Amino acid sequence: MLEINNLHSRIGDTEILRGVSLSVNAGEVHAIMGPNGSGKSTLAQVIAGHSDYIVTGGDVTYKGNDLLELEPEARARDGIFLGFQYPVEIPGVNNAYLLKAAVNAKRQHQGLGEVDAFEFLKLAREKMAMLGMDPKFLNRGVNEGFSGGEKKRNEILQMAMLEPSLAILDETDSGLDIDALKAVAQGVNTLRNPERAIVLVTHYQRLLDYIEPDYVHVLSEGKIVRSGDKSLALELEERGYDWVREAASA
Amino acid sequence: MSTENIESIVNRRYEHGFVTEIATESLPPGLDEDVVRAISARKNEPEFMLEWRLQAYRQWLEMKEPEWAHVHYPPIKFNEISYYAAPISDDDRPKSLDEVDPKLLETYEKLGIPLHERARLAGVAVDAVFDSVSVATTFKEKLFDVGVIFCSFSEAVREHPELVKKYLGSVVPRRDNFYAALNSAVFSDGSFVYIPKGVRCPMELSTYFRINAANTGQFERTLIIADEGSHVSYLEGCTAPMRDENQLHAAVVELVALEGAEIKYSTVQNWYPGDENGVGGIYNFVTKRGDCRGDNSKISWTQVETGSAITWKYPSCLLRGKNSVGEFYSVAVANNMQQADTGTKMIHIGANTRSTIVSKGISAGKAQNAYRGLVKVMPQAHGARNHTQCDSLLIGKECGAHTFPYMEIKNPSAKIEHEATTSKISADQLFYCRQRGISEEDAVNMIVNGFCKEVFKELPMEFAVEAQALLNVSLEGAVG
C-alpha cells in the first residue's frame, strides 16, 4: 500500500529525514518509535503533504501512484488519514459541520452521493458512543476548548467516520489518562481489518499494550535504525533509546 | 480611483446627452441653486420640498468634507458630477440575458439568484421582466389591505406630503454631516414606508419591490416610520453585484420607531469594489440612523458589507424612549484594495435603554478594515446597558484591521461591556481541513462563515443563505 524509498526531507535549512525506507501493506499495524527529534512527526507530516516540509530526495508510492505529487486534500480523499499530535482549534466552525464536509468530500471523490443529515448523525452518534464521547461535542467548535484527551478522541472519531485505507496516528497517546487511552485504543482496534493499514507514531511502549503492532521500527536521527516485531518495543522500554543509538553508530 | 475616471464618467454622460432623447433630461455637471431647483421641478415636487432642498444646499456650502475616517482617496470634485440623470432608456439596455456579460451571469449562478431576478439585476429592459412585476403587484395589494404605505420617495412627497413633512430630516438633520447635507439638497429617489398603529407588516419588505425604485441614483433617500405598536422588517440591497456608473453614492436612511414599535433593517451591500487595483470602485458614504422615539421601541440594524471601493457607514440608534433597544449586527468584508470604515453609534438618552453591538470585520488581500463605534450614555439615562463585541479576522499578510471604540459615559449606573478579538486564518487550520479532504477554498469559506455565524443568524432566512454564498464569492482567491 505504502512504499517509502530513501526519503530525505528538510524543514527550513534543517535536514530531518535522512533516508527513510519503509513498506506498509494492507492489514498491517506498524509502530514507529524513537527519541524526541528523531523525525517521527516529520515522517507523518510528509506523508500527509504539509508544505513546510520539503522533500529533497527519495520517493513515496501509495496504492501504486506517486504520492508526493498530490495535494494534501487529494491524499486525504484517497484514504490517507493523519491523526494530529496537536489538533488545531477552529473556533466558530461546528464540529459536525467539518466532519460532514470531510465525509462528503471523500464520498464525492469515490463517486458516491452526499450523505444525508439523518444518516450522518446516526453514524456519528454510534461512533461517539463507542469512543465514550458525549454527543454534545458535535455541536461545539472544532476542538474549541477541548481538553487534550477530548481532542484525541475527536481525531479518532474523525478517523472512524472517514474509514481511511492508511491511518497514521501521530503521538495519539500523549497526554491521555488511562481511560482515554483505553477508549482511543479500542477505537483503533475496531478499525483494524485486512484492507486497512495503521501506522502508530509513539514515544512510549504504553500504547502498544493496547494496540498490538505487527512491526516495530526505531527511528533515530532521520533513519530507521532497527525493525522487528512487538518484542522490540519491550526491549526498548527496558534498555532505552541510547541502546539503539549506540547500536546504530556501532 | 483617479480623477480621470471621474471625468470619463462625466464625459460619458455628456456624450449621451446629445445622442438620446431621454438623456437630454440629464443636467450638466456642477451644483448650484438652479440645479437644485431643476431637480425639484423635474420631480414635480411641492414648494416645501424645494425650500427644504435649498436650505440643505446653503448649509452644505458652509460645510467641510470629513477627513477623520481611516480611508484614503483623491479629492472628489463635486463640480464635475452630474446631479440629475434620467433613467437609462430601454433602448440602451440589453434586450435579454443573452446580451449580458457572461461573467456577471456566472456570478448570479454562484450566488443562486433566482432566474426571474437575474434579468432585472442585469438591467434588462423592464418590459422583458414579467415575473418580478407580477410578484410586486400582488404584494402591493396585500400591503394596501392592511394600510401599509410602501412607495418610492418621490411618490410619497406627492401623495403623502404631511408624513414626509413631519418626519423628513427629523432623525438625520440636513446639516448633520457633509454628505447628509449634500443628499438633502439633491437626493434622487428612494423608498418610503409607513406602518400604521398596531400593524404587523405581513411580509418582509424586500428587494422584490425595488422594481419600482430602480434607478434611484446615487443620492438615495429612505424614510421608514413605524407607528405605535407596529412591526416591520425591511431588506435593503441585494447580494448580486450591482454595477453603477456613478462613482459617489451618498445615501441617507432615517428610521422612526414610535412607542412599542419595532423596525428590523437588514442590508446586503455589494456595490462594485473596483478591480484588483481598486480602479473603478464605488465610494459609498452613507448616513443611516434610527430613532427609538417612543418607550419600549426597538431598532435593529443588520448589515453585510462586501462591496464598494470605500465604505463609510455607521448605522446608529438614538435610544430616546424608556426601555428602548438598539441593536447592530455587522459583517464587513474588505478584499483586494477595498477600504471600509464602518461601525455604529448607540446614544442612550432614555432610562433603562439597552444596546447590543456585534461587529465582524474580515480583511483579505491589501484591504483595510476599520470598526468605529460610539457608545454614549447621557446623564439622564439611568440603568443603561451596552454590550459590544468586535471581532476581526485577517486572511493573508498584507491586510489590516483597526478598531476605534469610543465610550462617553455620563451616568454612573451604566453597565458597559466591550470585548474585542483579532484572529487570523492560520496555515495550521487550513492544513488540518485539507488533511480531512476539504479544499483550501472550502476551508476558508467554512472558517469565515463560522466567524460570521452570530450576524447571519440575525438575517431573514433566505437572505442569510444568499449572504453566505456572497461572502464565499467575495473572498474567492483570497488565500494562496
Please answer yes or no on whether B438 and A106 come within 8 Å at the CB atom: no
Please answer yes or no on whether B450 and A76 come within 8 Å at the CB atom: no
Q: Which residue has the higher pLDDT, B2 or B176?
A: B176
Chain B residue numbers with beta carbons less than 8 Å from the beta carbon of A164 are: none
For chain A, say whether B457 makes contact (Cβ under 8 Å). Answer: no
User: Tell me, what's the pLDDT at A178?
Assistant: 87
User: Tell me, what's the pLDDT at B210?
Assistant: 43
User: Tell me, what's the pLDDT at B129?
Assistant: 37
For chain A, say whether B434 makes contact (Cβ under 8 Å). Answer: yes
Q: The domain containing residue A126 runs over which residues?
A: 2-249
Which of B434, B446, B450 comes nearest A72 by C-beta?
B434
How many independent structural domains does chain B possess?
A: 1
Which of A50, A51, A90 comes nearest B429 by C-beta?
A90
CB B146 within 8 A of CB B202: yes
- Top residue of B422, B433, B440 to mutate, by most chain A CBs within 10 Å, is B433
What is the C-alpha to C-alpha distance for residues A204 and A234, in angstroms, rounded to an integer? 10
Q: Is residue B332 part of a domain?
A: yes
Which of A50, A77, A90 comes nearest B447 by C-beta?
A90
Answer yes or no: is pLDDT of B137 > 80.
Answer: no
Mind listing the pLDDT tens digit for each residue in B167-209? Answer: 999 999 999 999 999 999 999 888 899 999 999 998 888 754 4
Q: What is the mean pLDDT of residues B406-434?
A: 93
Measured N-to-C along each axis, helices B440-456 and B461-474 cross at an angle, to the nearest 10 degrees, of: 140
Please answer yes or no on whether B451 and A92 come within 8 Å at the CB atom: yes
Task: Match 484594495 to its residue by C-alpha cell.
Answer: B337
- Given pLDDT bands bounded at 50, 70 and 90, which one contains residue B25? low
User: B residues 60-119 near A, CB within 8 Å?
Assistant: none
ipTM: 0.95
User: Tell me, what's the pLDDT at B56?
Assistant: 96
Answer yes or no: is pLDDT of B400 > 80.
Answer: yes
For chain A, say whether B421 makes contact (Cβ under 8 Å). Answer: no
Highest mean pLDDT, choosing among A162-176, B59-73, B204-218:
A162-176
Q: What is the mean pLDDT of residues B418-428?
A: 89
Answer yes or no: is pLDDT of B368 > 80.
Answer: yes
Q: What is the mean pLDDT of each run of 10 residues along chain A (250 residues)?
A: 96 93 96 90 96 94 95 96 94 90 93 89 91 87 89 93 95 86 89 94 88 93 91 85 71
Answer yes or no: is pLDDT of B213 > 80.
Answer: no
Task: Return the half-sphere exposure (C-beta side, CA atoms, 13 A cut-off) of residue B173.
Answer: 3
Q: Please name the helix (run of DSSP H) or strand (run of DSSP E) that holds residue A45, with its range, or none.
A: helix A40-48
Chain A residue numbers with beta carbons less than 8 Å from the beta carbon of B449 are: 93
Which of A72, A76, A92 comes nearest B450 by C-beta?
A92
Answer yes or no: is pLDDT of B88 > 70.
Answer: no
User: Tell me, what's the pLDDT at B224?
Assistant: 97
For chain A, say whether B433 makes contact (Cβ under 8 Å). Answer: yes
How many independent structural domains does chain A possess?
A: 1
B323: buried, middle or exposed (CB in 10 Å: 19+, 13-18, 0-12)?
A: middle
User: Tell me, what's the pLDDT at A40?
Assistant: 93
Which of A48, A52, A97 comes nearest B446 by C-beta?
A97
Percent over 70 (pLDDT), chain B: 79
Please answer yes or no on whether A82 and B440 come within 8 Å at the CB atom: no
For chain A, say whether B3 makes contact (Cβ under 8 Å). Answer: no
Which of B426, B427, B436 comes nearest A98 by C-beta?
B436
Any idea what DSSP says for residue A49? Answer: T
Chain A residue numbers with beta carbons less than 8 Å from the beta carbon of B432 are: 84, 87-88, 90
> A163 to chain B: nearest residue by CA?
B436
Any idea what DSSP says for residue A135? Answer: G
Q: Is residue B17 part of a domain?
A: no
Q: What are phi and psi of B408, to 5 degrees?
A: -125, 105
Q: Which residue has the higher pLDDT, B83 or B26?
A: B83
Chain B residue numbers with beta carbons less than 8 Å from the beta carbon of A91 are: 423, 450-451
Q: Please state which of the ranges A29-33, A138-142, B258-262, B406-410 shows the lowest mean pLDDT.
A: A138-142
Mind listing the pLDDT tens digit for each residue in B331-367? Answer: 998 888 888 889 999 999 999 999 999 999 999 888 8
Q: Is residue B25 part of a domain?
A: no
User: Tell me, what's the pLDDT at B214?
Assistant: 41
Q: Is residue B15 part of a domain?
A: no
Q: Which residue has the higher pLDDT, B7 or B472?
A: B472
B457 to chain A, closest Cα gap in Å: 13
Give chain B's mean pLDDT: 82
For chain A, say whether B479 makes contact (Cβ under 8 Å). Answer: no
Answer yes or no: is pLDDT of B144 > 50.
Answer: yes
Q: Which residue has the higher pLDDT, B328 or A240?
A: B328
Can you say whether the dihedral through the CA atoms of A127, A130, A133, A135 is positive or negative? positive
- Given pLDDT bands bounded at 50, 70 and 90, which one contains residue B247? confident
For chain B, say whether A106 makes contact (Cβ under 8 Å). Answer: yes
Which of B435, B447, B451 comes nearest A72 by C-beta?
B435
User: Tell me, what's the pLDDT at B184?
Assistant: 96
Chain B residue numbers with beta carbons less than 8 Å from the beta carbon of A146 are: none
What is the C-alpha to C-alpha distance for residues A157 and A169, in angstroms, rounded to an integer? 12
What is the C-alpha to C-alpha distance for residues B369 and B380, in angstroms, rounded to an integer? 34
Answer yes or no: is pLDDT of B251 > 60.
Answer: yes
Parallel, antiparallel or unpaired: strands A2-11 and A14-24: antiparallel
Q: What is the mean pLDDT of residues B107-119?
A: 64
Q: Is residue B38 part of a domain?
A: no
Mind listing the pLDDT tens digit for each residue in B29-41? Answer: 888 999 999 989 9
Chain A residue numbers with beta carbons less than 8 Å from the beta carbon of B442 are: 101, 105
3-state secondary structure of A244: helix
B438 to chain A, closest Cα gap in Å: 6
Q: Is residue B58 part of a domain?
A: yes
- Top residue of A81, A97, A98, A151 to mutate, by most chain B CBs within 10 Å, is A98
Percent over 90 (pLDDT), chain B: 46
CATH number, domain of A58, equals 3.40.50.300
Q: The domain containing residue B344 runs over which residues?
A: 47-68+103-474
